[in-house]
């Protein structure tokens, strides 16, 4: 696999990239997750507070449909409205407060606990007709349309199934006692809402990973982005101090000793680093002397720079070496050709030549992602 170009956005976003995007208002959003959370919370509260609300509704209904001579002679609509409000509003407010709290909480969780005031600022793009048309008829608009159609079909099917089982009881309303009618209506409503919540949860489970993938794709970084971010981080006194400490720790440890014997390192470009050497008198194939990821990989890069070791950027090859070879072990036979090309390249550099950087191929069976999973599983 040939080396990626500097401008191609092929790398996963770093934590700093995600944090910077969140500060600007680009946080994870999923309307389906928020809707499912609110509906689930509302349904739960209805089931808990339901008896209280049902008793209040029954008392209001009896008072509204009951007439006596005193009521006809001294009609006071204000007192009646006040009584209805005292009976109905407390349980409704209790449900509403929980729903509001869950609404805010779900958005805070999706937004990584951030309150983003920038999202409240007016943006011309939101009222620009051309931008609106682009959102509607662009790829994102088509995806949202497809999701809406699928959601409509799922929830519509659930509602139709509910109606088919409850139609006879609904048509019979008005024939029984007030208690029986309210209880049936309440049971029917809570059953329908609970079934719709299950449908919304299914939609949310599907939508959440899709939104994560879309955000990660939007925040993809090029190699130049990684280098620029690394330069910005290296400029801070804290990073310089941490870098010097990492170098001291590594130079005193086994990795530091191994780096002194290495001929070059292969990196990806910030996440992984593998130090290699080839001496036919010691081993018939190239040997991995040390390897690291994350902070260790960055420190290995810095040590290599100080030791003037060639640092070769081959992301797929670096991952293949990291996940298939231990320290002080010969590389896999499938990687001999790729490593041989790099050894020849490094030897040419040491002779003072200026060779072209070789393009290497990594077998599909050894192509891994950053989590160590095969990129092309059989």
- The highest-confidence range among 65-79, 146-160, 209-223, 280-294, by mean pLDDT, is 280-294
Rg (CA), the chain: 33
Q: Is 177 exposed, middle or buried (0-12, 13-18, 19+ CB in 10 A)?
A: exposed
Closest CA to 264 of 346, 328, 330: 346
Sheet of 311-313, strands arranged across: 311-313, 264-268, 272-277, 287-293, 329-330
Residue 139 has what pLDDT?
67
Integer Cα distance of 350 and 178 in angstroms: 95
Distance of CA 69 to the CA centre of its chain: 66
Contacts made by residues 211-214, CB under 8 angstroms, sequence distance 24+: 211/28, 211/29, 211/30, 212/28
Higher pLDDT, 312 or 16: 312
Residue 31 has what pLDDT?
78
- Asked whether the predicted pLDDT for residue 10 surpasses 50, the reply is yes
Residue 275 has what pLDDT?
94
Residue 224 has what pLDDT?
77
Q: Which residues contact 331 (CB under 8 A, 6 or more apart)?
A: 276, 285, 286, 287, 288, 321, 324, 325, 339
Distance of CA 261 to the CA centre of its chain: 42
pLDDT classification of 176: cutoffs 50, 70, 90:
low
Integer Cα distance of 45 and 289 in angstroms: 61
pLDDT classification of 2: cutoffs 50, 70, 90:
very low
pLDDT, tens digit, for every residue of 259-283? 888 999 999 877 899 999 998 888 8
Token reading at 77: 């609509």
Beta bridge partners of 313: 267
Residue 305 has what pLDDT?
86
Residue 52 has what pLDDT?
78
pLDDT classification of 1: cutoffs 50, 70, 90:
very low
Integer Cα distance of 276 and 289 in angstroms: 6
Residue 342 has what pLDDT?
95
Integer Cα distance of 270 and 259 in angstroms: 17
- Asked whether the predicted pLDDT for residue 195 surpasses 60, the reply is yes
DSSP 354: -
Tell me what the pLDDT averaged over the chain comes to.
78
Residue 329 has what pLDDT?
93
Helix, strand, coil share (%) of the chain residues, nearest 5: 65, 5, 25
Rounded percentage of the chain residues whose pLDDT exceeds 70: 72
DSSP 221: B
Strand, coil or helix: what is 335?
Answer: helix
Q: Which residues contact 349 (CB under 8 A, 6 or more apart)?
A: 310, 355
Beta bridge partners of 276: 264, 288
- Asked whether the predicted pLDDT for residue 331 surpasses 90, the reply is yes
What average pLDDT score do residues 45-63 get? 74
Residue 16 has what pLDDT?
78
Q: Which CATH number fits domain 236-366: 3.40.50.970, 3.40.1690.10, 1.10.10.10, 3.40.630.30?
A: 3.40.1690.10
The counts of H helices and E strands in the chain are: 14, 5
- Asked whether the predicted pLDDT for residue 332 surpasses 80, the reply is yes
Higher pLDDT, 110 or 6: 110
pLDDT, tens digit, for every residue of 94-146? 878 888 888 777 777 766 555 555 555 665 655 666 665 666 666 667 777 77
Q: Residue 116: phi, psi to the nearest 5?
A: -105, 95
Strand, coil or helix: what is 356?
Answer: coil
- The domain limits of the chain are 27-66+76-119+126-218, 236-366
- Asked whether the predicted pLDDT for residue 72 surpasses 60, the reply is no
Higher pLDDT, 377 or 319: 319
Rounded percentage of the chain residues whose pLDDT exceeds 90: 17
pLDDT, tens digit, for every residue of 286-312? 999 999 888 788 888 888 888 889 999
Token reading at 148: 């809406």
- Asked whether the predicted pLDDT for residue 36 surpasses 80, the reply is yes
pLDDT classification of 18: cutoffs 50, 70, 90:
confident
Residue 254 has what pLDDT?
72
Whether 268 contacts 10, CB under 8 Å: no
Closest CA to 328 of 265, 258, 240: 258
């Amino acid at each position: 696999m040939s080396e990626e170009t500097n401008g191609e956005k092929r790398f996963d976003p770093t934590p700093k990239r995600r944090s910077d995007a969140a500060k600007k208002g680009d946080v994870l959003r999923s309307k389906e997750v928020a809707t499912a959370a609110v509906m689930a919370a509302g349904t739960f509260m209805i089931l808990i507070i339901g008896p209280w609300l049902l008793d209040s509704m029954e008392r209001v209904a009896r008072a509204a449909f009951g007439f006596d001579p005193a009521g006809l002679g001294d009609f006071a609509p204000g007192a009646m409205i006040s009584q209805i409000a005292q009976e109905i509003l407390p349980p409704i407010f209790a449900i509403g407060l929980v729903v509001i709290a869950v609404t805010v909480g779900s958005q805070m969780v999706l937004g990584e606990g951030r309150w983003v005031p920038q999202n409240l600022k007016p943006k011309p793009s939101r009222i620009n007709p051309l931008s609106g048309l682009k959102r509607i008829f662009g790829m994102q608009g088509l995806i949202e349309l497809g999701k809406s159609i699928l959601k409509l079909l799922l929830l519509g099917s659930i509602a139709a199934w509910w109606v088919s089982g409850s139609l006879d009881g609904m048509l019979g309303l008005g024939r029984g006692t007030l208690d029986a009618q309210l209880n049936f209506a309440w049971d029917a409503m809570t059953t329908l809402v609970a079934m719709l919540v299950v449908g919304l949860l299914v939609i949310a489970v599907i939508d959440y990973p899709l939104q994560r993938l879309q955000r990660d794709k939007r925040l993809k970084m090029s190699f130049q982005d990684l280098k620029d971010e690394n330069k910005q981080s290296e400029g801070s006194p804290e990073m310089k101090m941490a870098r010097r400490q990492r170098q001291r720790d590594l130079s005193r440890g086994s990795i530091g000793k191994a780096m002194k014997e290495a001929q070059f390192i292969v990196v990806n470009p910030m996440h992984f680093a593998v130090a290699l050497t080839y001496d036919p008198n010691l081993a018939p194939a190239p040997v991995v002397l040390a390897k690291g990821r994350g902070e260790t990989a960055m420190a290995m890069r810095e040590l290599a720079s100080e030791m003037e070791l060639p640092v070769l950027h081959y992301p797929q090859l670096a991952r293949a070496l990291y996940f298939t070879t231990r320290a002080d072990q010969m590389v896999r036979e499938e990687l001999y050709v790729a490593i041989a090309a790099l050894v020849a390249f490094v030897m040419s550099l040491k002779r003072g030549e200026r060779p072209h950087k070789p393009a290497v191929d990594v077998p599909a069976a050894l192509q891994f992602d950053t989590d160590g999973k095969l990129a092309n599983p059989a």
